[in-house]
Amino acid sequence: MRINQKQINTVHFIGIGGIGMSGLAQFFKWVGHEVSGSDRALNNPENKELFEKLATQGIKLYAQDGSYAGNQQTDILVYSTAIEEENPDFRAGTGLPRWHRAEALAFLNETLQNKISIAVTGSCGKTSVTAWIGEVLTNLGFDPVVLNGGMINSFKTEEFFGNFKPGNGKFFVFEADESDKSLVAFTPEYSMILNIATDHYSKEELIEVFEKFLKNTKKGAVIEKQVYEQLNPESYKHLRVFQFSSDAEYREGRAWILKNYCLQNGTSKAWCTKKGKNIELNLPAPGIHNAVNALSILALTDLLELENSYSEIVDSVEHFKGVHRRFEYVGETRRGAKVYDDYAHNVEKIASAIGAAQEIVSSRIFAVFQPHGYGPLNFMKAELFPNLEKILRKEDCFVFMPVYYAGGTSSFSPKSSLVCEEYELKSAVDGRYLTFDSRNDAGKYLVSTSDKNDIILIMGARDGSLSIWASELIQSINE
């Protein structure tokens, strides 16, 4: 629904605690709208800091019971795909116009004056790359507006949570979500497609979505080589396209190539090249996936034709401070095991996180995974097993936690325990797969079984309390 900006004063967000929704709410507030929001988890401890910062900005918060309707005049409701039709806020706002969050973002993008928009998508890494681009452009002096699906460490302030950064420069960088196909609502000047993986839809279906996304892009795109080769050329023929690839033998004039990657004297290093231009990078985090992410950013700076020198760009890339819950070091348990917290939730992200952990220690990895829904677990379970069997070493183990249920319609199947049982029966290594009914039981096992130089890797999406649990695993050392 297209609405004139002058018709909008107060915008109400249903589910404002979501990382994408809260960022968008801050954006609306920053450009001058009155903003309110509700959330089912308004009083949950893991959301305390976020809601305090929203309130500091003057955003009104309500329980998700329709009470907002009796306390203010609301002009439009913004919702995400996770909000069901019988939601109390929908019922209380019968007759009010609605925007899906993608429509709301598209509206804001259109109202920004003289901004060059850069939309980042892909099955894996888009939150990290969006943050990384925003920080690189900031370090180079461009002061971009940034909207992200994760809390960017360097953009967190007393007022802002870090998933939205206001800016007065010419660039607007944002994460474009493929999980509900809403990215086709955007018409950015530039777009990035990082990869295609097993998450939400088949790869064939995602290719169609990415093609529509590119057709809506106005000037140029950065596309990973394997994705590029699956696309219909009609989708990008109007664009200036740069590619990037981890295939060291690949040859293409506008492609950045990862020639080598390794851990050297405790530092993750990448060697990149494009038509004879060679760059050595000290990466801010381990994992070949981070080397590929950095490669995509080099390709983007080329596409944008920034006037900065390569040495300035490389320095900015190397000093990225990361994103909350992206292979984030939490601390050590009382027995000396290192605890890391990660948002990994699909096959490729889980494998990448485990691989990064294996790079930095030679001892055991306790990979702990909480599926972010019954549907996603069912979708990924067939492909996850062979990938785990390939990457897990004999001494490593994989721990299934109960499925996270955030509300809404669900089949409540399959349960983690049944998937774990299936994996254990098929595994080449006895005892590789474990499951626990509670965090208390899992925590006792992890803390008592792991030892010095082991890694406990907590993984899962959508549930902010996972970070609290990761911290609880190390608290006993300080007691």
Domain range for residue 242? 112-318
Q: Kindly state whether residue 148 falls inside one of the protein's structural domains.
A: yes
Same domain, 273 and 364: no
Same domain, 199 and 300: yes
Q: Kindly state whether residue 357 falls inside one of the protein's structural domains.
A: yes
pLDDT higher than threshold 70 for residue 297: yes
pLDDT digits (tens, 9 = 90+) for 35-94: 999 999 999 999 999 999 999 999 999 999 999 999 999 999 999 988 999 999 999 999
pLDDT higher than threshold 80 for residue 200: no
Same domain, 214 and 286: yes
Q: Choose the final residue of a domain: 318, 340, 358.
A: 318
Q: Choose the final residue of a domain: 100, 129, 162.
A: 100
Same domain, 313 and 391: no
Same domain, 291 and 430: no
Average the pLDDT over 328-333 and give the result.
96
Same domain, 291 and 150: yes
Q: Kindly state whether residue 107 falls inside one of the protein's structural domains.
A: no
Q: Kindly state whether residue 208 falls inside one of the protein's structural domains.
A: yes
Same domain, 72 and 158: no
Same domain, 304 and 342: no
Average the pLDDT over 9-33 and give the result.
96
> What CATH number is associated with residue 29?
3.40.50.720
Task: Assign 3-class secondary structure to the chain.
Answer: CCCCHHHCCEEEEECCCCHHHHHHHHHHHHCCCEEEEEECCCCCHHHHHHHHHHHHCCCEEEECCCHHHHCCCCCEEEECCCCCCCCHHHHHCCCCCEEEHHHHHHHHHHHCCCCEEEEEECCCCHHHHHHHHHHHHHHCCCCCEEECCCCEHHHCCCCCCCCEECCCCCEEEEECCCCCCHHHHCCCCEEEECCCCCECECHHHHHHHHHHHHHCCCCEEEEEHHHHCCCCHHHCCCCEEEEEECCCCCCCCCEEEEEEEEEECCEEEEEEEECCEEEEEECCCCCHHHHHHHHHHHHHHHHHCCCCCHHHHHHHHHCCCCECCCCEEEEECCCCCEEEEECCCCHHHHHHHHHHHHHHCCCCEEEEEECCCHHHHHHHHHHHHHHHHHHCCCCCEEEECCCCCCCCCCCCCCCHHHHHHHHHHHCCCCCCEEECCCHHHHHHHHHHHCCCCCEEEEEECCCCHHHHHHHHHHHHHHC
When divided into structural domains, the chain yields a total of: 3
Q: Kindly state whether residue 234 falls inside one of the protein's structural domains.
A: yes
Same domain, 381 and 264: no
Same domain, 62 and 155: no
pLDDT higher than threshold 50 for residue 270: yes
pTM: predicted TM-score of the whole model, two decimal places: 0.91
pLDDT digits (tens, 9 = 90+) for 20-30: 999 999 999 99
> What CATH number is associated with residue 472?
3.90.190.20
pLDDT higher than threshold 70 for residue 201: no
> What CATH number is associated with residue 117?
3.40.1190.10
Q: Which of 179-183, 226-230, 454-458 has the lowest mean pLDDT?
A: 179-183
Q: Choose the final residue of a domain: 100, 130, 163.
A: 100
Average the pLDDT over 198-205 and give the result.
72
Q: Kindly state whether residue 323 falls inside one of the protein's structural domains.
A: no
Q: Kindly state whether residue 451 falls inside one of the protein's structural domains.
A: yes
Same domain, 213 and 249: yes
Mean pLDDT of the chain: 93
Q: Kindly state whether residue 440 falls inside one of the protein's structural domains.
A: yes
Q: Percent of the chain beyond pLDDT 90? A: 84
pLDDT of residue 479: 44
pLDDT of residue 5: 57
Same domain, 145 and 292: yes
